[in-house]
Structure 1
Amino acid sequence: MANTSQSKKRARQNETRNEINRARRSRIRTFVRKVEEAIAAGNAEAAKTALLAAEPELARGVTKGVLHKNTVSRKVSRLSARVKALSAN
C-alpha cells in the first residue's frame, strides 16, 4: 500500500489513466471489429468505409500511448490488404 503522499497521488492518477486507456482500447477494438464484420459479410463497400473510420482511431491510440506504432501499422496493413482482396473479387 502507498505510504507517502506522493505515492498515494500516483496511485490515484494510475487508476484514472487505467480507466481512460481501457475506454480508448475498447473504442479502437470496436472500430476494428466493424471492419472485420464487414469483411466476413463480404460487403466490400462497408468494409472500405469502416476501414477509413478505423484508421484515425488506431493512429490516435498511438499518440495517446495506448498502442505501439508498429502494432497499429501492422493492424492497418493487414486490414487494408483484406479489404483490398475483398474488393478485387
Structure 2
Amino acid sequence: MANSPQAKKRARQNEKRYAVNKARRSRIRTYLRKVEEAIASGDKEAATAALRAAQPELMRGVTKGIYHKNTAARKMSRLAARVKVLA
C-alpha cells in the first residue's frame, strides 16, 4: 500500500484515470459493435453510417492513449473492407 503522500496521490490519480479510460474504451467498443451488427444484418447504408460514426471515436481513443494508432488503423481498415464487400 502507498505510504508517502506522493504515492497516495498517485494511487488516487491512477484510480481516476482507470475509470475514465474504462468508460472511453467501453464507448469505443459500443461504436464498433454497432458497425459489426450492421454488417451482420447486411444493411450497407446502416453499416456505412455506423462506420462513419465509429471512426472519430476510435481515433479519439488514439489521441487519448487508449489504443495504439496502428491498432486503430488496422481495426478501421478491416471494418471498411467488410463494409465495402456488402452489396
Question: Which digits, 9 at most, give the CA deviation of each residue in 1:26-51, with x for residues without a partner?
Answer: 00000000000000000000000000
**1:66 matched to which residue of 2?**
66
Matched, 1:82 2:82: yes
TM (norm. structure 2) is 0.99
Q: Give the Cα separation in 1 of the matches to 2:67 and 2:22.
A: 11
TM (norm. structure 1) is 0.97
Q: Give the Cα separation in 1 of the matches to 2:16 and 2:67.
A: 18
Moved over 3 A (4+): none
**2:33 matched to which residue of 1?**
33
**1:2 matched to which residue of 2?**
2
What's the Cα RMSD here?
0.4
Aligned length: 87
Identity %: 70
Question: Which digits, 9 at most, give the CA deviation of each residue in 1:3-47, with x for residues without a partner?
Answer: 100000000000000000000000000000000000000000000
Unaligned runs of 5+ in 1: none
Unaligned runs of 5+ in 2: none
